[in-house]
Structure 1
């Protein structure tokens, strides 16, 4: 993939700092007071497809307008080299989205030990991703230990992600831009994960049970392969955390997105917020699709159990 440097208008003006992700400069705004939430602009940038980026930015701005709660996202279209971000440097409790990181760290550890996963590890990894099984994730997290998980975060470049000091993996603090880095590591050659390890994670993400396939896949073309992992957790502060990671592609399309939200009054509200934006992304990037996936039915208002409520 040719490296390019697309800089948002805001970043170019010098009002925010940024870091290169997949070759484009993506903003990481400074931390702000929880008492006074900040509203960020939607920015979509591309040197190769500026008109498409501008069209996507306009539509995403409309999609997020008027929604309560706090939302961040980061997305990248590898084919047209379009990058979009919205509050992508704000930290959120990861909830069950961390399970992708845990399984990827397991595979990297096995690589370094020059071995295959055991049948037990394969079973635990499958349960953690496809059914969002918390017990399986806890077993794998404890087996790996904080040090190995942190080494994986460092290797991927997820420098804003912080493991919970209390040991609750679901309270790992992360950002949309770091989750995009993870998705990129799963979808391109590199020295972090072998092709076999990447296929393993992607295969699990493609087999998530139907009741957990809401969020980022909403409105995707039926001609596009879908990989997804969600997180949903209510707590006494910031209400519902509702997150969705998605990777989408076929022979002509290759794009991915990470949505993180909190301060949602209900799980359903958070899902609706994400799906409004996701539909815009899919219909803008794949406008010629003749058939699109409909949203899954709203799940019951029960958290994913990734951390104490």
Structure 2
């Protein structure tokens, strides 16, 4: 864990408290955090690659806005809204293909998304070139770069209209998907979020480490009323105890993320009343669809 800040005491407290929050967790976790007002950053294993699940949808959104100069058609707007606010997978697939080279339709090569990553300096992100966008390899550091672009005032990658649109969609994410890196955020901040989750199959062609593993990721931005921060937490190895409902691995990943999130916001904004997100209900019979 490495934290820096204009306030050295804050940096030291964050480093200690985040490390302590992670100490009892069995899953693997990486994070990247920034707070512009206090000049604070924290990172832990921020270059480690993880299956993206649906946090890649923020990349798809950024690439779409980059390619279209921030002006979307009515159809593109409808797809983008469903993709972010409801984490709709079909909409993500449609936009992924739109931004791809389709010489081989079975393996859409996302060349226009790669152009966006290159422009954004997201050099550690590896797009899945066979159409399985949820298996794109992302890092906490690169996703933090994306949050900085969305929430900043630099027009070199995305203009102000595009940035505002991206944050608007992340602010409108449905209530059951606002968990994760939002936990503990000050209630007077404006919260923007996108989460992702998937459970890898038990199929023999899946790497032995990944079989049955829940990948649970979350990224959030706080804005307005003096707030200007971003947090990304990526997790894996959220294992399901033998004989237990499959959702327990998902819930464990969420709890890992929210433990980190509450710790960070408590240290950076002491005394602020914190946001308590809805936790998806654990259903023993039916695990959630990947999102």
Decide whether aligned partners of structure 1 residues 260 and 121 sit closer, same or farther in structure 2, where only a CA change above 3 A counts: same
1:254: which partner in 2?
228
* Cα deviation, residue 188, structure 1: 1.1
After the TM superposition, which residues 21-170 of structure 1 pair with which residues of structure 2 at under 5 Å, given as runs?
A: 42-46=1-5, 48-111=6-69, 116-145=71-100, 146-170=110-134
- DSSP 3-state at the match of 2:235: strand
Give the alignment's TM-score, normalised by structure 1.
Answer: 0.81
Which runs of 5 or more residues in structure 2 are unaligned?
101-109, 202-208, 240-248
Task: Name the CA distance, whole Å, in 2 between partners of 1:79 and 1:53.
Answer: 14
Task: Name the CA distance, whole Å, in 1 between partners of 2:126 and 2:279.
Answer: 33
Q: CA RMSD in A?
A: 1.3
Task: Name the CA distance, whole Å, in 1 between partners of 2:264 and 2:164.
Answer: 24
Task: Name the CA distance, whole Å, in 2 between partners of 1:188 and 1:293.
Answer: 23
2:139: which partner in 1?
175
Maintained 8 Å contact 2:193/2:220: yes
Task: Name the CA distance, whole Å, in 2 between partners of 1:169 and 1:152.
Answer: 15
1:198: which partner in 2?
163
- DSSP 3-state at the match of 1:257: strand
Task: Name the CA distance, whole Å, in 2 between partners of 1:160 and 1:167.
Answer: 19
- 1:305 maps onto 2:290 in alignment: yes
The answer to which of 196-205 and 184-193 deviates more is 184-193
- DSSP 3-state at the match of 1:88: coil
Choose from 220, 223, 228 the match for 2:188.
Answer: 223
The answer to which of 145-154 and 291-300 deviates more is 291-300
Task: Name the CA distance, whole Å, in 2 between partners of 1:75 and 1:303.
Answer: 28
Q: Which has the higher contact order (CA 8 A, sep 6+)?
A: 2
Q: Deviations over 1:163-191 (max 9, x none)?
A: 11322111100110011011111111221
Task: Name the CA distance, whole Å, in 2 between partners of 1:253 and 1:50.
Answer: 20
- 1:234 maps onto 2:199 in alignment: yes
Decide whether aligned partners of structure 1 residues 218 and 117 sit closer, same or farther in structure 2, where only a CA change above 3 A counts: same
* Cα deviation, residue 300, structure 1: 4.1
Q: Deviations over 1:32-85 (max 9, x none)?
A: xxxxxxxxxx11112x22111111111111110121021000001111111101
Maintained 8 Å contact 2:199/2:290: no
Task: Name the CA distance, whole Å, in 1 between partners of 2:39 and 2:56.
Answer: 26
Q: Give every structure 1 segment of 4 or more consecutive aligned residues whose post-TM-superposition deviation is greater than 4 Å.
A: none
Which runs of 5 or more residues in structure 1 are unaligned?
1-41
* Cα deviation, residue 288, structure 1: 3.0
* Cα deviation, residue 277, structure 1: 0.5
2:255: which partner in 1?
272
Give the alignment's TM-score, normalised by structure 2.
Answer: 0.86
Maintained 8 Å contact 1:95/1:304: no
- DSSP 3-state at the match of 1:262: strand
- DSSP 3-state at the match of 2:68: helix
Task: Name the CA distance, whole Å, in 1 between partners of 2:251 and 2:126.
Answer: 27
Maintained 8 Å contact 1:211/1:299: no
